[in-house]
Structure 1
Amino acid sequence: MSADKNKGACCNDHHHCSAGNSAAGHEHRSDSHHSHEMKLLPVMGAEEAVAVADLSRAAVYRIVGMDCSSCAKSLEKHMKSLAAVQNVVVNFSTGKMQIVQEGLSDEAIVSEVSKAGYAASPLARGKSSKAEAKDSMGTRLAAISGVLLALGFLGSFTSLPELLLTVCYALSMIIGGYRPARSAFYAIKSGSLDMNVLMTVAAIGAALIGEWLEGATVVWLFAIGNWLQTNSIEKTRDSIRTLMDLAPAEAWVKKGESMVRLPVEDVGVGDIIVVKPGEKVPLDGEILFGTSSINQAPITGESIPVDKQPGDTVFAGSVNESGSLEVKVTRLVEDTAIAKIIHLVEEAQEKKAPTQAFVDKFAAWYTPIVLVLALLVIVFPPLFGWGTWGEWFYKGLELLVVACPCALVISTPVAIVSAIGNAARNGVLIKGGAFLEKAGAINAIAFDKTGTLTQGKPQVSQMLAAPGKEDEVLAIARTIEEHSRHPIAQAILTYAGERKIAPLAGEDFGVIVGKGAEAKIGGESYYAGKPALFEEMGISLAAWSEQIASLQNEGNTIVMVGTSQSILGLIAVSDTIRDISVGAISKLKAAGIQESIMLTGDNAGTAAKVASQAGVSRYFAELLPEDKVAAIQKLQQEGKTVAMVGDGINDAPALATADLGIAMGGAGTDAAMETADVVLMADNLEKLPHTVNISRKALQIIQQNIWFSIVIKLLALVLIFPGWLTLWLAVLSDTGAALIVILNSMRLLRMKS
């Protein structure tokens, strides 16, 4: 959906369901747009709002090595302890750190991050890339530690001296545990209590009581578990960054009669680029010359290539399948649709879902409680003679390991990152974890009719007037509608143009909100609009009632033309249902959506026919702009969780009122990307069922992850006291559970639409 189309639809929508686009309706939408933004404010406190403002000038770094959110918190606290750092935010989901500081070089920041146990590399502001920072040192240390552990273990079956075996185990612990121990030191220094602290204490404790094999096994399993978790999580993070690779790095730029190959960063707005058959479009632009079939699935998710001609928009990353094109660049490389998709998705992945926020709070209490319990287990039982100090010290160490809530705290964010990444690759922008959860919970979807369920390009199907007066009535109608960009007005203008009927000299053009429009022609006022408009002026419709009823029953929208004394003629306009809409609604029912609702300003007869053709279960007809909001509220009062689907501009009040606002045609409009909770990049409903399915699957996987993590922890706690749990088994249960949770979440990446 082009920006012009939206703009036009926004100006003079006076005939039917999009009636809210009059001047008054436009003002209403502006207010509602603010109310839509206000929905997001309660989750941001005053301090957080200040932090966001401070981060507007932040440098961005990629961080490698974080495998749960406690890592991010520890790194954040460590960086905040530096005098030069004014503000810092580390996000586990995206693996990024934003920092505002004075006086520190990139090298100094990378060094400080390294002290905390992670690898870092600077990123250009606002751009995305794959992981430049590599953690090869951690991999080598884990490998050497494993070799030494294996030598010691195999040597225990020979006659090698015990001292030599202990040395092997000790070296394995020192080499494999060096980085976790260093991270633990800086975590304690900054007041954090993360898994590095707990594992380091457990390993040292094992050494103190002479359990060298167990201590070395704990360190090695922890290192291997971290390596596997980190690499798995990086795959989920890179799932969206790979979108950037879709757009070519260079473009053929036309310079006079010749062409020059230039990096896309050096191409400016207004430059002419040439896209040959089979090549990818390097930048967003408008076709000047040539026609072709364009596969824009990477941007919009549309399964069928779209035919393009001069005047049409093309997007960076789409594939030119046939003819050669000359394209005028309309956006710089950092402003293309695909760049905005990646930026918005990464922002969305950073926003915590309600479930994630709850789990993080739970984990924040769980770890210190279990830590205190571990200290009590070490001290009190032997004091009362219920066993030896060594025995209870060992059980306390096991409790320390069990105190790491890694699997629990990553149960939600990895699933959310995977689901949002999958949706983005299928042409759907989900603006955050909260909206993903909401999309999975909706049980009713309301659709705007025009341009959503229908093509949005109505055509004149019939015209009735006194014999010989057709051209005169059509000229009057064209004059009144000349200043409107509404689809119905455009249909009348097209019809008049095809018949070469010129407009008359008009003045005092006006809009009658939700009912029609007027203009003064030759000193007399003429009107075009709904039959109800003329009834309100006291004009009898008896002579036209039979034709009106017949045409409305056939699904036509009626535009009457006349003066304040009489009706001169009637124009019937109809819109066609999109085949994709019918299929999408059918799939939504199969996905478990209980009710689909159509909202329209059309009369009840037209609404009933369109609703029947589209397959919706319910409709609201003859709606004024504010009535759409009332219809959404009525559905909510019935106990339904309601999503509203519109074009992102015309339906802003209803989108803001609904539990979930879904905008269509986001690839062509910045406003749609910014205002809605979920954006369908294509100008159709093709990917809406996938959005619902992946949201529900994500909720299901999050619940599986949480329950699995809790059950494993409880099982480990129960097995400690009978002495059935060993220290290395406790580590294995922790890292193994975390890895299983990650792999379970990654199933969302492979979910097909």
Structure 2
Amino acid sequence: MSQASSATTRFRVEGMDCASCALKIETAVRRLPGVAAASVSVQAGTLIVEHGQGFEADRVTRQVAGLGYGVRPANAASPTTQAAPCCAHAHADHAPAPPHDHSHAPAAVAPAAAPWWRSRKARQAVICGLAIVLAWMSGRIWPASDLWVFLAALLVGLLPIARRALAAARAGAPFTIETLMTIAAVGAVAIGAAEEAAAVVFLFLIGEILEGVAASRARASIAGLTALLPKTALLQEDGSAREVPAETLIPGAVILVRPGDRIAADGLVLEGESAVDEAPVTGESMPKLKAPGDTVFAGTINGEAGLKVEVTAAAADNTIARIVKLVEEAQESKAPTERFIDKFSRYYTPLVLVAGALVALVPPLVYGQAWGDWTYRGLAVLLIGCPCALVISTPAAIAAGLAAGARRGLLMKGGAVLERLRQATLVAFDKTGTLTEGRPVVTDIVGLGRTDDDVLALAAAVETGSSHPLATAILSAAGERGLAVPPVFSVKAIPGQGVAGVVDGVGIALVSPRAATERSILLPEQVARIAAFSDDGKTVAVLLINGAPAGILALRDGLRSDAEQGIRALRDMGISAAMLTGDNPRAAAAIAAPLGIEAHAGLLPQDKQRQVLAWQSEGQVVLKVGDGINDAPALAAADIGIAMGGGTDVALETADAAILHGRVADVARMVRLSRQVMQNIAQNIAIALGLKAIFLVTTIASITGLWPAILADTGATVLVTLNALRLLSPRLD
């Protein structure tokens, strides 16, 4: 199929809770005309279909609904009927969805599923359990009817499972848990173990309910972010405010945020100053002071004063919606380990059927053993061998890791990124805005015949109205000291030199040291002081009054408060760090020296990329951390590119990963999370295979039978899922 003719459609699938569901749906959908590929994410509850000519979305909905799942295009409204979460697949019946626009709509958060006790699966388990109790009581009263009453109880639970096994086989997926369960139950009846077969089916249904509950918790971990958004907002129009649905806000609208309210949209503060709690979105523990011109995020909580905010993003594009979309798409992207396990499972289930047959046939045929005993053990092997726990071991941990990262402001675009991070050996940082705050501050003021406050006030006067970063720093410093800034007249910029104006009839200029030398005579001690500031990587400005030097100001973009902690954390993990910057060597050295890292300065974007490639040629696994724009070539060349804070657009759309709240220490946290996830995956695989091995040995040794064999599958699946959910614990941070 040509690339030009291919398209992608995303569907919502309800009722999945294990990898068996995903494999069955993928196999069935791939067989449809016009479908090039299909990929299912149990964690995200989505089906991604790549297709070309001849594709009909109605066929997808009919095919998936025929397997017992609720399905609809991702951009369609939620159906009124609710599929029961399950893997034994007693789902609610769903009619085929009507045709929709099948363009690739943005991922949206799936609606919350009904409580497990209201599902058809739960009702089926209750009915099956009651039938077994009645059968047991009936058998005690009329012993001759024992076989038939337990057979009736068995059919209550088994018939829906067998029906779905048949539907899956017709759709091209004959090797499913339903198939194994049906064969085992029918075989048990054939050897006179109807009572035990009924108990096995009941335990299977209970186990699958537990799987559904665990899977729902995993999905809710990220979908719960949407609950942070308020339903309404106070829209200001024509001098008055009225309450409107938050989802109707559009860019340019102005909203009022009262103290204690959640902010309804991303925006810029127009009026007011208040501390805003950003912990729900970025994980930042301390509230941030917001003033006019500052950015605020949807879902964050306003503090003690009201704010007037201009909306900058619609509801579908706000920070929380985009985080949810990014994490959901990341969950749909399979990690290398997950792809290997998926491929392995396609061969594993048929091998289990063969193994069960060999256990049942070889001892009686070759060694003359009792047929009943070994047939019983062979049936137990079928139940032990179900691949659900093994196949869910990796995606459950990946999904929990991605969700845990998102809740800490650490976004990773897929399981492959999360898996690769743990292998990092070197982190290459940009300087400005990454290791530093990205904005200069006044560090030194030297008065030459005037007080420091006079120098700063006059410098602020000529910079009034300017948006240049140095001007902003000087004005901020004057404001922090509470200085009265005198009015200025006849302000003009001096290209390449500085700015000049008239204050109280006196000519004032704030210029570079080179321009000051050209305009005035600087004393040797003044030149030495300027040189010392420059050697420290500071930017120097000289204040001239009527052409004579009156003061010196030094400014520098300071280190982030956690830069040293972040570099030290990486070093403790055995990861080295370096700096790549286009700034001059002196400025780079001034930042790198206290951090104890190597600095590569004066680099163009292509030079940064070349250095990353050179490190990789030496065998290093390189993480590149930058702003996602001028570092784009290096971010692309690195093994993992990480966008650091700054603009939300950059953080969410550039590189392989993003750190929302711009902390250097979060790079180490991201690597640590990757290592925890991979350790969790190893534990999950050990649990899944270990339980199977234990029960396989005890079954062949005739220590355990059919109903304990269920624990090797559904029990292991629950344990694996719960173990993965541990990654969501804040104690692991």
Q: Are the structure 2 counterparts of residues 722 and 132 from structure 1 closer, same or farther at C-alpha, using a change threshold of 3 Å?
A: closer
Equivalent in the alignment of 2:579? 598
Deviation at 1:518, TM superposition (A): 10
Alignment of 1:698-709 (within 5 A): 698-709=677-688
Aligned to 1:475: none
Q: CA deviation at 1:279?
A: 0.6
Q: Does 1:741 align with 2:720?
A: yes
CA–CA separation in structure 1 for the residues paired with 2:186 and 2:562 = 63
CA deviations 1:144-164 (Å, max 9, x no partner) are 2123334545777x5x33343
C-alpha separation in 2, matches of 1:326 and 1:492: 27
For residues 649-692 of structure 1, what are the alpha-carbon distances to aligned partners after superposition, in whole Å with 9 as ceiling and x for unaligned?
A: 121122222221111126x3313311211111123335334322
Give the equivalent residue in structure 1 for 2:130: 147
3-state DSSP of counterpart to 2:261: coil
What is the rounded CA distance, in whole Å, between the counterparts of 2:355 and 2:37 in structure 1? 35
Change (3 A) 1:486 1:273: closer
Deviation of the 1:461 alpha carbon: 5.9
What CA distance in whole angstroms lies between the structure 2 residues aligned with 1:675 and 1:154? Answer: 66
Counterparts of 1:324-723 in structure 2 under 5 Å?
Answer: 324-459=306-441, 502-503=491-492, 550-556=532-538, 573-590=555-572, 592-613=573-594, 615-665=595-645, 668-685=647-664, 687-723=666-702
Tell me what 1:174 maps to: 155
The one-character-per-residue Cα deviations of 1:445-492 (angstroms, maximum 9, x if unpaired) are 22211111112112466799x99xxxxxxxxxxxxx9xx999579879
Describe the shift of the 1:529–1:223 C-alpha distance in structure 2 as closer, same or farther (beyond 3 A).
farther
Q: Does 1:241 align with 2:223?
A: yes
Q: Is the alpha carbon distance of 1:258 and 1:687 closer, same or farther for their aligned partners in structure 2, counting shifts above 3 Å?
A: same
What is the aligned partner in structure 1 of residue 25 from structure 2?
A: 75
Opposite residue 210 of structure 1, the aligned amino acid is G
Does structure 1 residue 54 correspond to structure 2 residue 7? yes
For residues 60 and 702 of structure 1, what CA distance do their matches in structure 2 show? 28
Cα pair distance change 1:50/1:150, threshold 3 Å: farther
- TM-fit CA distance, 1:223: 1.1
**Aligned partners of 1:50 and 1:400: how far apart in 2?**
45
TM-score, normalised to structure 1, is: 0.77
**Partner residue, 2:165:** 184
**What percentage of residue pairs aligned between the two structures are identical?**
39
Contact 1:78 1:186 in 2 (8 A): no
SS of the aligned residue for 1:619 comes to strand
Task: Give the deviation of 1:74 after TM superposition.
Answer: 1.1
Paired position in structure 2 for 1:323: 305
Q: RCO (CA 8 Å, sep 6+): is it higher in 1 or 2? A: 1
1:268 aligns to 2:250 (yes or no): yes
Q: Of residues 83, 101, 116 in structure 1, which corresponds to 2:67? A: 116
Q: State the distance in 2 between where 1:207 and 1:264 align.
A: 59
In structure 1, C-alpha distance between the alignment counterparts of 2:657 and 2:56, rounded to whole Å:
41
**1:287 CA drift (Å):** 1.9
Residue 702 of structure 1: CA displacement?
0.6
Aligned length: 653
Q: Give the residue type in structure 1 aligned to 2:145.
A: L
Q: For residue 751 of structure 1, what is the amino acid of its counterpart? A: P
Partner in structure 1 of residue 456 of structure 2:
none
Partner of 1:525: none
Whole-Å separation in 2 of the counterparts to 1:485 and 1:258: 32
In structure 2, do the counterparts of structure 1 residues 545 and 441 end up closer, same or farther at CA, with 3 Å as the change threshold? farther
SS of alignment partner, residue 373 of structure 2: helix
Contact 2:513 2:530 in 1 (8 A): no
Alpha carbons of 1:299 and 1:554: their partners in 2 closer, same or farther (altered >3 Å)? same
Find the residue that maps to 2:47 and give its secondary structure.
strand
Match of residue 251 from structure 1: 233
Could you tell which deviates more after superposition, 96-105 or 575-584?
Answer: 96-105
Structure 2 residue matching 1:277: 3-state secondary structure: coil
CA, structure 1 residues 712+620, in 2 after alignment: closer, same or farther (shift >3 Å)? same
Question: 2:421 and 2:227 mapped to 1: Cα distance?
Answer: 29
CA distance in 2, matches of 1:388, 1:172: 28
* Deviations 1:339-361, CA, capped at 9 Å, x for gaps: 11111110001110111011111
Aligned to 1:30: none
Partner of 1:63: 14
Aligned to 2:213: 231
AA paired with 2:146? L
Query: Contact 1:84/1:104 (CA < 8 Å) preserved in 2?
Result: no
Cα pair distance change 1:249/1:505, threshold 3 Å: same
In structure 2, do the counterparts of structure 1 residues 355 and 76 end up closer, same or farther at CA, with 3 Å as the change threshold? Answer: closer
- Hey, what's the Cα distance between the residues in 2 that align with 1:705 and 1:530? 64
Whether the 8 Å CA contact 1:295–1:320 is kept in 2: the answer is: yes
Task: Tell me the residue number matched to 1:93.
Answer: 43
Is the 2:357–2:378 contact (alpha carbons within 8 Å) kept by the matching residues of 1? Answer: yes
RMSD: 4.0
Query: Are the equivalent residues in 2 in contact too, given 1:236–1:749 (CA < 8 A)?
Result: no
**Structure 2 alignment gaps of length 5 or more:** 76-104, 450-462, 479-484, 499-510, 515-523, 543-550
SS at match of 2:338: helix
Instruction: Give 1:103 shift.
Output: 7.5
User: How big is the shift at 1:266?
Assistant: 2.6
| Separation of aligned partners in 2, 1:729 and 1:462 | 75
Equivalent AA in structure 2 for residue 67 of structure 1: D
Aligned partner of 1:71: which letter? C
* Number of the residue aligned with 2:277: 295
Letter in 2 for 1:54: A
SS at match of 1:575: strand
* Closer/same/farther in 2, CA of residues 71 and 632 from structure 1, 3 Å limit: same
Q: Judging changes above 3 Å, is the alpha-carbon distance between structure 1 residues 168 and 581 closer, same or farther for their aligned structure 2 residues?
A: farther
**How far 1:198 sits from its partner (Å)?**
1.0
Aligned: 1:277 with 2:230? no
Distance 2:57 2:532 in 1: 77
Structure 1, residues 110-162: CA drift from partner, whole Å, max 9, x if none?
A: 77645413345665453214334676111111122123334545777x5x333
Select the residue among 275, 279, 289 that pairs with 1:307. 289
User: Gaps (5+ residues) in structure 1?
Assistant: 1-45, 468-480, 507-516, 520-527, 532-541, 561-568
What amino acid is aligned across from residue 635 of structure 1 in structure 2?
A: W
Q: Distance in 2 between matches of 1:134 and 1:177?
A: 23
Conserved 8 A contact 2:276-2:289: yes
- By how many angstroms is 1:251 displaced? 1.1
Structure 2 contact 537–588 (Cα < 8 Å) conserved:
yes
The answer as to whether partners of 1:54 and 1:87 remain within 8 angstroms in 2 is no
The structural deviation recorded for 1:648 is 1.4
Change (3 A) 1:364 1:718: same
Work out whether 1:137 is the aligned partner of 2:87: no
Distance 1:121 1:399, change over 3 A: same
Which amino acid in 2 is paired with 1:72? Answer: A
3-state SS, counterpart of residue 245 of structure 1: helix
Q: Conserved in 2, the CA contact under 8 Å of 1:274 and 1:325?
A: yes
Aligned partners of 2:339 and 2:661: how far apart in 1?
Answer: 32
1:270 deviates by: 1.9
SS at match of 1:683: coil
1:50 and 1:260 mapped to 2: Cα distance? 48
TM-score w.r.t. the length of structure 2 is 0.79
What does residue 4 of structure 1 align with? none
Aligned partner of 1:739: which letter?
A: V
Alignment partners' CA distance in 2, 1:574 and 1:93: 47
- Shift in alpha-carbon separation, 1:344–1:555, aligned structure 2, 3 A: same
CA distance in 1, matches of 2:177, 2:467: 61
